[in-house]
Amino acid sequence: MKRTIIITGGAGFIGSHVVRLFVNKHPEYKIINLDKLTYAGNLANLKDIEDKPNYKFVKMDICDFEAVYQLMQDEQVDGIIHLAAESHVDRSIKDPFTFAKTNVMGTLSLLQAAKLYWESQPVPYQVAHSSQSTVQCLFYHISTDEVYGALAMNHPEGIPAPHQTIASAHSSQLETHGSLAYGSEFFYETTKYNPHSPYSASKASSDHFVRAYHDTYGMPTIVTNCSNNYGPYQFPEKLIPLFINNIRHRKPLPVYGKGENVRDWLYVEDHARAIDLIFHKGKIAETYNIGGFNEWKNIDLIKVVIKTVDIALGRVALNDEQRALSSSQLTAHSSMPDSAFPDLDLITYVTDRLGHDARYAIDSTKLQKELGWEPSLQFEEGIEKTVRWYLDNQDWMDNVTSGDYQKYYEEMYKPTQS
């Protein structure tokens, strides 16, 4: 079936994985990557698919209602997967206005453009690409688990997590701590919103607008709330790529507070896979939580990252038996003492982030039960893949950290000479 889908924020971290998946998996669809290319947007993330016939990039601000509305009409768009956002909590603490503008007003502008175009169709909210194929429209909004607030850490020592996945069962088999929970409560789809940072407050507000467009105008919408993502192409102001880069250069690793905060981590390609599944099979007006069933204290996660980088860079002495193991097996087993890893002393504790939430833990069993999705990767394996990608793509990292990536766009899309 033919479809024309706008993916907003497709030049960012998660968006680039979603664009790649859709362009490769659905050659019959036209995929339009709509991105303003802020500091976080990088077209080099999509170099491998930019020449595909079913891919188109449009540099546009989601807040520019007129331009978005025109694009929807010109391209006869029937689906929107909305990822464009300001996404970094620390930046939101310094500059909340930009977050309200992009995340709230930008989402509203997209919703209104979609409403006007989709309601102008002969059958509202159905776009006819030809006489044979009429497509039900969908506005799919990508959000975060941070809208739910924070959970108590009433088991700081860790208890067995109530849910197992194929990946986490594999994890216990490897005797890792991957399937622990640090509290007895979880975020469910029914959990009351209680955002604490300007970032999560802006995302919460945008989620409400999306649901309001369903309830008020009948727009087909879906919202998903996902936990922390990690993997290739993440802007290196976020914890995992920042630390991989710092370890590589033997620079200090700033850890907030005591590093006790707990987050649930999901490999980004698993998130993209969930988005594809929900876009096609999800129920209209539903909310789905997406999580890794994978809680980690920041300090434990940082140690896994350091150990994985140290092994990858040959900074640890391994005996023959250890050399035969993968780095995920080495970091998962506790057989190697911390003293074997020279870069653990790069950890530097810094003043905690303002209002730093203690624990996020998402329950995504609804998605597992209704649509059969679950994470595919055991955490140490995901980290090993991630570390290897950043070390193998040092040019990408160096370009991003030097700001050179911004020149890539100017070179790729030079104005035509008159």
Ligand X SMILES: NC(=O)c1ccc[n+]([C@@H]2O[C@H](COP(=O)([O-])OP(=O)(O)OC[C@H]3O[C@@H](n4cnc5c(N)ncnc54)[C@H](O)[C@@H]3O)[C@@H](O)[C@H]2O)c1
Do the strands 79-82 and 3-8 form a parallel or antiparallel pair, or are they unpaired? Answer: parallel
Which residue number places its CB atom closest to ligand X? 12
Nearest to 101 by CA among 113, 117, 85, 88: 85
Q: Which is nearer to ligand X, 85 or 311 (CB)?
A: 85
Tell me how far apart the alpha carbons of residues 347 and 340 are, in angstroms, rounded to a whole number. Answer: 15
Q: Which is nearer to ligand X, 35 or 260 (CB)?
A: 35
Amino acid at position 213, single letter: Y
For position 278 contacting ligand X by CB under 6 A, the verdict is: no
For position 102 contacting ligand X by CB under 6 A, the verdict is: yes
**Quick check: is 381 catalytic?**
no
For position 243 contacting ligand X by CB under 6 A, the verdict is: no
For position 232 contacting ligand X by CB under 6 A, the verdict is: no
For position 263 contacting ligand X by CB under 6 A, the verdict is: no
Q: Within 112-171, which residues bind ligand X (CB under 6 A)?
A: 142, 144
Tokens representing 16 are: 């680039």
For position 61 contacting ligand X by CB under 6 A, the verdict is: yes
Answer for which of 43, 100, 106, 360 binds ligand X (CB under 6 A) is: 106
Do the strands 29-35 and 55-59 form a parallel or antiparallel pair, or are they unpaired? Answer: parallel
Q: Which of 35, 61, 78, 145 is catalytic?
A: 145
Which residues does 407 contact at the CB level (< 8 Å), separation at least 6?
none
**Quick check: is 146 catalytic?**
yes
Q: Which of 146, 343, 357, 374 is catalytic?
A: 146
CB of 133 to ligand X, least distance (A): 29
For position 21 contacting ligand X by CB under 6 A, the verdict is: no
**Quick check: is 199 catalytic?**
yes
CA dihedral 69, 75, 77, 80 (to 10 degrees): -70
Select the span of 57-65, 213-221, 297-305, 374-382 touching ligand X (CB under 6 A): 57-65
Where are the extended beta strands (E) located within 187-302?
221-226, 228-230, 253-256, 262-267, 287-290, 295-297
Residue 44: how many other CB atoms lie within 10 Å: 19
Hunting for tokens 């033919």 — which residue is that? 2
Answer for which of 14, 44, 150, 309 binds ligand X (CB under 6 A) is: 14
For position 375 contacting ligand X by CB under 6 A, the verdict is: no
Q: Which of 69, 117, 125, 199 is catalytic?
A: 199
For position 46 contacting ligand X by CB under 6 A, the verdict is: no
Tell me how far apart the alpha carbons of residues 356 and 350 are, in angstroms, rounded to a whole number. Answer: 13
Helix (H) and strand (E) counts in the chain = 16, 16
Active site residues: 145-146, 199
Binding site for ligand X (CB under 6 A): 8-9, 11-15, 35-38, 40-41, 61-63, 83-87, 102, 106, 142, 144, 203, 226, 228-229, 235
